[in-house]
Structures are given as C-alpha cells and as structure tokens.
Chain A
Amino acid sequence: MNQLFSFSRWWLLVRKTYFEKKRLYLLSALTILALGLAFYIVFLILNSTGYFGAELQAGFYFGGLFITGCLFASVQFSDLADKSKGIAFITLPASQLEKLLAGVFFSVLVFTVVYTALFYSVNTPALKISNSIRYNVFITEQEYKRVNYPETYDSTERFKPAELVNVFKYKNDSSYYSDNDSDEEQDVQNIYGYIWMAFLAVQAFYALGSIYFGAYSFVKTSVSILGLAVVFFFFGQIITSFFPSSYESLNYDLYSLADNTNIDSTTYYNLPDWLLVFDTWLLQYLFFPLFWFIAYIRLKEKQI
C-alpha cells in the first residue's frame, strides 16, 4: 500500500467528504445563486438601457469568483480549528497528501465548475433581458428619428446585441464585431489567463490560511494579505530611496537615469526579454503550487 498517495483511497476520501458536507455545499451553491440573482436584478433595474458588454460580464464573473472562491477556500480546512473535528480529520486513515488533494479538488475544481455554471445560468438570461430592453429602445429611437428627424435616420443601422462572455478567453468588447483583431487586441488576449492564475494563487493562500489560522481564517488571511501588501509597498519605497534622484521608471521594463550635469544626456536601461519572460512565468505559475505546497507542509505539521 502506497503511504503517500493511492488514487482509490483519495477517491474514497472525496466521496466521504462529499457525503458529509453535501448539505453545506448545496446551501453554499444556493446562496451564490440567490446573491447572483439579487445582484443582477438590481443591476438590470439601475442599468436597464446600458450596454452589458462582455468585459462588464467578465468583471462580474471574476469579482464574484474571487470573493466566493476565497470564502470557500477559507473554510476548506476549517475542521482543524475545532479540536474534535480536527482529531477526526487528522486521524482518518488517509495520507495528508490525499487530504490536501481532496481539498484542492473541492475548492479549485468543483467550486469553479459549479460557480461557472451558476454564473452562466444567471448571466445568460440577464443578458437576453438586457439585449431585449436595448433592442426595444433602439427600435423606438429609430422610429422616432425616422418620423421626426429623417435627415439623421440611417436605415442601414443595425442593432448590435451584447455577446455572452467567454470567461476562459479574452476578447475586448470591440473585437466582438471585428473579423480581424488588431495587433494590440491580440497582445491582450491572454488577460483572463493572468486573472485565472491570480485567482488560483489567492485562493490557495486562503486555503493555507484556513490551516494556519483556524477560526475566522477569512478575516485573518485578508488582514495578512493587506499586511504583506503594505510591507511590500514600503520595501519598494525603501529600495527606490537609495536610487539616484534622476532615476525614473518609464515602464515596467524601461528605466532612465539622467545626468544632472548634462540635461541632454540620459541613459536608458531596458531589462532583458528573458528576465521579463521569467518574471511573468514566475508570477503566473509559482504562487499557486507554492501556497498549496506550504499548505501541505502545514497540514503534516498540524498538532491537535
């Protein structure tokens, strides 16, 4: 018997976790659905004629994903905050890696699939309603122009409905009408990829927080993130305070240093491409596995 990982034991653990927590999961899903419905109703009332484009839909999707995903991750190992539940969790005859991966399975895979399904189940009819309202307004306006201001009336003008967002592939709103995306649009097409990686990293951090902090882990983890951001900001401030006063950051990869004695003489420093590629790769792919790995170590060390 493999003591580190056995798929059959892990799958048994997943099924056991589901049976024990299915009521919590169902209630969570219903709460997300109810909040989503309430949010969209208010949105449609306040913004009935506004353009409900893909970028706005994506904003709603990712906003909700971050909030609910991190909340869900922060209760993933909350059993450890309770002595009796923690004993039952740790002493269940499965490896700590299997227990962690069961947590990853529910908080990353199952949550994301369910959340995405719930989002589309609310967003799709909301978009249809929005398009329908806008279409009626468009027809009314066209008719008004045709009757009252025939010189401004353009019979070839067609209604452009907002399209349903694809949260896995970025297209800005204008590109939905363009056959050939411009170079600039092509450059930013992977923006959702960055957001997804950021979400996975932040969510992993909240799961780690649920092992570290136990009770009120969502609040404590949020405060920790804020604290780390403040430390990072001041660290950057201290580092840059040692730079010459004529130093200027022109872009994330371009820096300039002016010569104080000769105003026309400025040296430009461009970071090498490989460093930028490496940094981007690290930022995208390092934190998610790193935080889950630390969570695994902490889970192994957890004492009750």
Chain B
Amino acid sequence: MVNVSQLQFRYRNKNVFDNLNLTLQGGHIYGLLGKNGSGKSTLLRSLYGLLYPTSGQINVLGNVPGLREPKFLQQVFMVPEEFYLPDVKMEELIHYHAQFYPHFSLSQFQNYLREFEVPSDNSLQQMSYGQKKKVLISLGLASNTPLLLMDEPTNGLDIISKSQFRKIMSGLVNHDKCMIISTHQLKDLENLIDSIVIIDEAKILFNENLEHIAQKLCFKIVTDTSSVNTALFTEPSITGVAVVYANTQQEETKVDLELLYKTVMANPAVLNNLFNS
C-alpha cells in the first residue's frame, strides 16, 4: 500500500531523511514513533504529497503523492496536528465533504459523532477544540479512505474521548485499510496498534509488528536484580525494576510500548540483530 524507497529529504541543510526505506501493508494500524524533530510529521506529509522529497520514490496506493491528483487525494485522509475546519454548519460541511470522498458514509459519521458525544446540530464555530477534533476524526473515519494518516490525534481529547477513540479505531481494521498514527502518547496507542515504526537519525530504526515483538522480547517488572544483568534494557519502577529481555524461553508477556521504544533507542543495533536472527 505504501512504498518508500531511498527517500532523501533535506530541510535547512539538515538531513531529515537519508535513504529512508519503508513498506506498509493494508490491514494494519501502524504506530509511528520518534523523538521531537525526528521527521514523523514530515513523513506523513510526504506520503500525502504535501512535501516533495529531495530524491527517492514514494508510491502510495499506486500513485505518486506529489502529483496531487484527485484520484489519489480522495483515497487518503489526514488528521493533522494543527487542523482547520471552516466556520459552517455541520450539514454544509458534510454535504460538500461527502461529494469529494466517494466512499463517505453519513450513517457512519453520525455514529462516530454519537460515540464521541458531539452534538451534531451545532455550528463548528460554537465547538471547542476537542469537539472539532472529534468531528475531524469522524470525518476521516467515515470517508472510508484506504489510507488514514493521523498526527497526534489524541492531543486535545479528554480521557473519556481517548478511550472512545481507541474503541472506534480498533473496530475499523480491515484488510483494505492502512492507518498510520504518529504520537508521543504511547498509552493512547495501547491495544490499538499492531505494528511499530520508529524513526531516528533520518532513518527507520525499527519496523516490526507486535506479534513478532512479543515473540522476540519479554517485558517484566522484577524485584530480583540478579537477572537484570542479561536484560536489554532496565528502568527502575515503583514496584521493582522494569526489564526487557530477549525472549529465549518463549514466554508470553504483554508488549509495553514505552519500554520497547526506550529499548530500541538505547540498543538499536542489538535489537536489529535480534529481530533479524
């Protein structure tokens, strides 16, 4: 669905991407992680044709995003971190939006609004930032585009809404749909994403699905510090020491996204060896 090869992107004499390669498949929800300024938003915008790479190829759903052809644009929807909704009535917004996205479903949209508890009779001007964001997320989901890009989608959502967001998103996975969620709020991605992509130093540092990660790594809180010596990563916690091991005993533990991220950032080469072995 998404193929990026040899991507170079320079911004103000800094290499944001240096020969970046990435393949993403339909039927997955990808969590895109990385430090501030690592290029997560730049990657999303490049996939949507908002930015042009210095060199390299991007192919999304058989299209070159930079051409910005209508047939491509109507297959992708993005919920950007900074978003804009016009000051119109909800029915006007839907009326015009639906005509540009051929698979838009009004009943789905109304369902999402109901789940998010957003009053559908309000004008957008009267809504709070969080409500507007929920409207935009609902628009994106109801547009039924094969590719959905989300940049910090849970920023501005309250605790209940974040939980509603996870619930709605997890019900959307299907073979033809690919969702990429860029966020720093790792807790918001728990039980939602099935693959992790980590960008660092202008490259893809890590790209694995959670099932494979659970096979290769084991996440535990231990009180016996003697076993810490063999850990790939350790971190003190209130109840003991959080450790990440190579899963040599085929144990079944839940992937802790935050620990995983820290482990990858601390030992990228070791992790890559482990996953490629």
Contacts and interface: CB of A to CB of B under 8 A. Distances in A.
Contact of B100 (A12, A20, A87): A12
Given A23-B87, A91-B50, A84 B70 contact: no
Interface of chain A, helix or strand or loop or mixed?
A: helix
Interface string A1-33: 101001001001001100110010000000000
B51 to A, nearest CB: 5
A12 B50 contact: no
Contacts of B68: 90-91, 95-96, 300
B102 to A, nearest CB: 9
A85 B80 CA distance: 11
Contacts of A6: 70
Contacts of A95: 68-70
A145 B45 CA distance: 81
A83 interface: yes
B50 A87 contact: yes
Given A12-B100, A19-B88, A19-B96, A90 B50 contact: yes
A15 B52 CA distance: 30
Nearest to A302: B50
Contacts, number: 69
A120 B83 CA distance: 41
Interface residues of B, number: 27
A92 B51 contact: no
Interface in A267-304: 300-301, 303-304
Interface of B: 45, 48-52, 67-71, 73-74, 76, 78, 80, 82-84, 86-88, 92, 96, 99-101
A132 to B, nearest CB: 45
Contact of A12 (B69, B82, B88, B99): B99
B124 to A, nearest CB: 11
Nearest to A6: B70
B16 to A, nearest CB: 13
A12 B96 contact: yes
Residue among B68, B84, B101 facing the most chain A CB atoms (10 A cut-off): B68
A236 interface: no
Contacts of A82: 84
A244 interface: no
Contact of A85 (B74, B84, B101): B84
A92 B86 contact: no
A126 interface: no
Nearest to A85: B84
Q: For chain A, which range describes its interface: under 10, 10 to 19, 20 to 34, or 35 or more residues?
A: 20 to 34
B78 A87 contact: yes
Contacts of B70: 1, 3, 6, 9, 93-95
Given A16-B96, A82-B84, A87-B78, A303 B71 contact: no
A91 B86 contact: no
Contacts of A9: 70
B100 A93 contact: yes
A82 B83 CA distance: 10
Contact of A91 (B52, B67, B71, B73): B73
The 6 closest A-B CB pairs, nearest first, are A93-B74, A93-B73, A84-B84, A20-B86, A16-B96, A84-B82
A94 B51 contact: no
Contact of B71 (A3, A20, A90, A92): A3
Contacts of A84: 80, 82-84
A110 interface: no
A230 interface: no
Nearest to B68: A96
29 contacts: A1-B71, A3-B70, A9-B70, A12-B100, A16-B100, A19-B96, A82-B84, A83-B82, A84-B80, A85-B84, A87-B45, A87-B84, A90-B50, A90-B68, A91-B48, A91-B50, A91-B76, A92-B100, A93-B73, A93-B74, A93-B100, A93-B101, A94-B73, A95-B68, A95-B69, A96-B68, A300-B68, A303-B51, A304-B51
